[in-house]
Structure 1
Amino acid sequence: MAAFEYAALDGRGKQKRGVLEADSLRQTRQMLRDQGLVPLNVEPASERKTRSQGGGFSFARRLGALDRVLLTRQLATLVAASMPIEEALQAVAQQSEKQHVRALVMGIRSRVLEGHSLASSLAQYPGSFNDLYRSTVAAGEQSGYLDKVLDNLADYQERQFESRRDVEMAMLYPVVLTLLAFGIVGALMIYVVPDMVGVIENMGQELPTSTRVLIALSEWTQSYWWLLLIAVVLGVAGGRWLLAQPNVRLAWDRQKLGAPFISRITRSSNAARYANTLSILTSSGVPLVEAMNIAGEVVSNKWLQRRLTDATQRVSEGSSLRVALEGVGYFPPMLLHMVASGESSGELDSMLDKVARYQQSEVERIVTTLVRLFEPLMLVVMGGLVMFIVMAILLPILNMNQLV
């Protein structure tokens, strides 16, 4: 039995969408007709691409970060209550208000009913459940502690979601302020300055240098604003294309690990992500070498990924984790000390969790400090630009008054 998504019309001509479990597409359509519905579209529930009504644009329907957190937490609670996994999945699907989430969960349930494990069922949706998630669930199934593993996984995802949300909220104000500043200056240059410049030029006197510069900038902005917009768009697109090239991305990531200010954020954030992933995997019973392979893929810096591959190889050859990570050369000393302590005490997963929390709070502190420094700096820059415009307009008027 599989899950099928459908779109159908009821007796009033209103379109309805939902998910049904059936053996085939034909049976699904017959079930809809038995309910008094006219099937419009029936297809297997999957993590497929959907097309917009306008035409060719398409996008993959995946679980969002918050949806995944809620699903994991609900599943952990139901499994802990000794509910069979297929019933727990059905309950989670029924509680969801989003059609694509319901369809995805029912698709997972249909594979579980066919005899597949939960981890292998999740593998059918790689965009929604990454290697870390699937390996952790597989370890929980093998150890018999799936409820505890899911609970730990939910805690981990909640911390990740909250950290990302806090950084995004901290960046919201300076981004809005920057856009507002450029918008105000652009509006002044296009709509206000030309009228004032026309009055000044009619005075027939020699203009100060600042005024001539302002006139030139205003004329250029009026004539070529579209060129500036195209340059910005092409610059962003070109930068993204360059970073998509493996060699360029590798060189760029290597430079970030040594650049002032950026290196501290890059190292701390990647250390937090690596330690967090390694902690959740080792505490779930995943072997250390396998956990290091998965955790290395979670790291966003490509150069660091390459170095971690070498570290994983050294551990597989018998080296200690502390020595292997020290050979990477980019991890903070505290992480190395905590790993050494965890290895000697037999509490590696606990130590990794503590150092991951510390590194994550360090990243948030650095980002918050930089954001707070950026806000007054942006105000000073904006004030300086407005002052330049005002002085460039007022100087000729003051000079004319002195001549009179």
Structure 2
Amino acid sequence: MPKYFYFARDKAGIKVSGVEDANTQEEVVNRLQARGLTVVGILTEEQQQISTALNLNISSKIKFRPKHGRVTSSDLTLFCRQLATLLGAGVTILRSLNVISQQVNSRRLYETIKLLEKNMEAGLSFHEAMGKFPKVFPELWVNLAESGEASGNLPIVLSRLASYLEQTEAFRSKIISALIYPAILLLVGTGALFFLTVKIIPTFIELFKGFNIELPLLTKMLFSFSSFVRGYFLIIIGVLIVCFFAFRKYISTRDGRKQFEQFLFKAPVVGEFFRVIAIERFTSEMSTLIESGVPILYSLEIAERSVGSVILSEIVAGVKNDVREGKTLSQPLEKSGFFDPMVVQMVAIGEEIGDLSNMFKRLNNYYQEYINTFLTRFTAMFEPVMLVFMGIVVGIMVIGMFLPIFQLTQIK
């Protein structure tokens, strides 16, 4: 019969370890939980040998210099993947944290990992230790870690979380990359118009001062606009800066954020895109949570706080209350009017066959494809639209500048 090496804590938080003969790892977990123990880790004989080798061979005297002070999403994603890999290889969690701490690039994350080690040595579980650092570890992490520890499948749960984070990071990078070119076009176009306004048009103003002719209305308007921009340039910049920070302050409030989201979701062309982004994040989180063994009500509660949209958060709160009262998940989703019929139908099917996690994963894949397609089409459409717009504006400026010259030619 296989041997399993276990690491656990009793109700007082005291470390307990030993060896159990059992057919499966689940059998060991059930035995330990029946004794009132909280399972921290279970290793096979092979995994225990790997763990021992690491403990003997990895020096703690590695010279380590973090490269930066902040904690980026990439730092957290890499930390989660490394931890999942080490735990899956049979390394104890404390040893895994010690190994990872010597490799992270963030000074703050390094200090946090060291504090995690101290808290766990003092008797806290992994998720309890993480919960002490809400500014570093999102609530989603803490809840998934709690689920993994309770089931004895922490390495598997962390591996799923790492996959979720890697997928989210790659998807975010793809969106940013797709929007870089339109942003550059917009920036270059704005810069060109600014140059024409403050440099080229004033040259024509000085040129036409010596001519005793009535300037066309278009030329007068361009001259007035140029004079206004040059005369009040600092004031205009100051007003724009104040408006920017006032807007940021406004949308940092819940009411302000909600009104801004309402505007985005109803905006022509891009409104549907922003709504789909919110649904994509919701389906991604629900898939990860349910697959990791988090109960549906608790999953909705976590999604409510971490979905990133005030409007969707309020909808999820209503869905959670309806589910608590005994309704199926698909019913309040349909009642909200926010989700597409496809979401409602697939969730209903998932409830019927008992496979909600897979249905949410399929929905998430669909919405990611939708977003990718939208970005591809938007980028392809934005370039000609921007070029036509710039051509019209520059054309109006050129016509306005040369109309007086045409008049002079006719007079002569």
Aligned match of 2:193: 185
Q: Matched residues in 1 for 2:353 and 2:394: separation? A: 62
Aligned residue number for residue 9 of structure 2: none
The one-letter code of the counterpart of 2:289 is: L
What is the Cα deviation at residue 255 of structure 1?
4.8
Other-structure match for 1:150? 158
Matches within 5 A, 1:93-132: 93-132=101-140
**1:64-89 superposed Cα distances (whole Å, 9 cap, x missing partner):** 11111100110110000010000011
Q: Which residue of 1 aligns with 2:236?
A: 228
Aligned equivalent of 1:311: 319
1:195 corresponds to which of 169, 181, 203? 203
Structure 1 residues 100 and 242: alpha-carbon distance in aligned structure 2, compared to 1, 3 A threshold: closer
Q: Do the aligned partners of residues 346 and 84 (structure 1) sit closer, same or farther apart at CA in structure 2, a change above 3 Å counting?
A: same
Q: Which amino acid aligns with 1:366?
A: F
- 2:95 is matched with 87
CA contact (8 A) 2:205 2:223 kept: yes
**Deviation at residue 399 of structure 1 after TM alignment:** 2.2
- Which whole-Å deviations, capped at 9, do the CAs of 1:211-237 have from their partners, x for residues lacking one? 111111111111011222122222222
3-state SS in 2 of match to 1:276? helix
**1:301 paired residue among 294, 309, 334:** 309
TM-score, structure 2 as length reference = 0.79
Superposition RMSD on alpha carbons, in Å?
Answer: 2.0
- Structure 1 residue runs of 5 or longer lacking an equivalent are 1-34, 36-59
* SS of residue paired to 1:261: coil
Select 1:217's aligned residue among 213, 220, 225: 225
Contact 2:69 2:107 (8 Å CA) reproduced: no
Q: What is residue 161 of structure 1 aligned with on the other side?
A: 169
Aligned to 1:238: 246
Does the Cα contact within 8 Å between 1:257 and 1:330 map onto a contact in 2?
no
Q: Report the 3-state secondary structure (helix = DSSP H, G, I; strand = E; otherwise coil) of the residue aligned with 1:331.
A: coil
| Equivalent position amino acid for 1:304 in 2 | L
Please give the secondary structure, in 2, of the residue aligned with 1:63. Answer: coil
Shift of 1:347: 1.2
**Pairing partner for 1:272 from 263, 277, 280:** 280
1:362 alignment partner in structure 2: 370
Deviation of residue 149 (structure 1)?
Answer: 0.7
| Deviation at residue 367 of structure 1 after TM alignment | 3.4
Off by >6 Å, runs of 4+ in structure 1: none
What's the offset of the Cα at 1:127? 1.5
1:51 equivalent in structure 2: none
TM-superposed CA distance for 1:205, in Å, is: 1.7
Counterpart secondary structure, 1:124: coil
Question: Kindly tell me: are residues 245 and 83 of structure 1, through their superposed partners in 2, closer, same or farther at Cα, counting changes over 3 Å?
Answer: closer
2:275, 2:107 → 1: CA distance?
Answer: 39
1:290 aligned partner, one-letter code: Y
Please name the residue that 1:384 is paired with. Answer: 392
Residue 399 (structure 1) aligned with residue 407 (structure 2):
yes
Partners of 2:407 and 2:351 in 1: how far apart? 78
Please, which moves more after superposition, 339-348 or 371-380?
371-380
User: How far apart are residue 261 of structure 1 and its match?
Assistant: 3.4
Query: Aligned partners of 2:263, 2:157: CA distance in 1, in Å?
Result: 37
| Cα separation, 1, equivalents of 2:114 and 2:140 | 22
Q: Are 2:81 and 2:158, in contact at CA under 8 Å, matched by a contact in 1?
A: yes
Query: Does the CA contact (< 8 Å) of 1:274 and 1:299 recur in 2?
Result: yes
Question: Does the CA contact (< 8 Å) of 1:66 and 1:161 recur in 2?
Answer: yes
Please give the alpha-carbon distance, in whole angstroms, between the structure 2 residues aligned to 1:98 and 1:299.
26
Deviation at 1:172, TM superposition (A): 1.4
Aligned to 1:5: none
Q: CA deviation at 1:279?
A: 1.2
Q: What SS class does the counterpart of residue 359 from structure 1 fall into?
A: helix
CA deviation profile, 1:351-377 (whole Å, cap 9, x unmatched): 111111211221232233233322222
Matched, 1:349 2:349: no
Distance 1:82 1:213 in 2: 75
Return the offset for 1:403.
2.4
Partner of 1:96: helix, strand, or coil? coil
Give me the whole-angstrom Cα distance separating, in 1, the residues matched to 2:174 and 2:378: 14
Q: Does 1:135 align with 2:149?
A: no
Task: State which drifts further: 325-334 or 283-292.
Answer: 325-334
Deviates more, 1:145-154 or 1:182-191: 182-191
Give yes or no for contact 1:78–1:88 (8 Å, CA) kept in 2.
yes
How far is the alpha carbon of 1:90 from its aligned partner?
0.8
Q: For residue 258 of structure 1, report the CA deviation from its aligned partner.
A: 4.2
Alignment match, 2:331: 323
**Partner secondary structure for residue 294 of structure 2:** coil
Match of 1:13 in 2: none
Kept after mapping to 2: 8 A contact 1:267/1:332? no
Count residues with an aligned counterpart: 346
Distance of aligned partners of 1:237 and 1:215 in 2 relative to their CA distance in 1, 3 Å threshold: same
User: Identity rate of aligned residues, in percent?
Assistant: 28
Partner of residue 17, structure 1? none
Q: TM-score, normalised by structure 1?
A: 0.81
C-alpha distance 198-256 of structure 1, shift in aligned 2 (>3 A) = closer
The question of whether the paired residues in 2 share the 8 Å contact of 1:242 and 1:248 is answered with: yes
Please give the per-residue CA displacement for 1:241-282, whole angstroms capped at 9, x wherever unaligned. 332333343344345444443441233112111111111111
Secondary structure of 2:102's match? helix
Out of 64, 67, 88, the position equivalent to 2:72 is 64
Q: Is the 8 A contact 1:181 1:382 kept in 2?
A: yes
| Aligned position for 1:52 | none
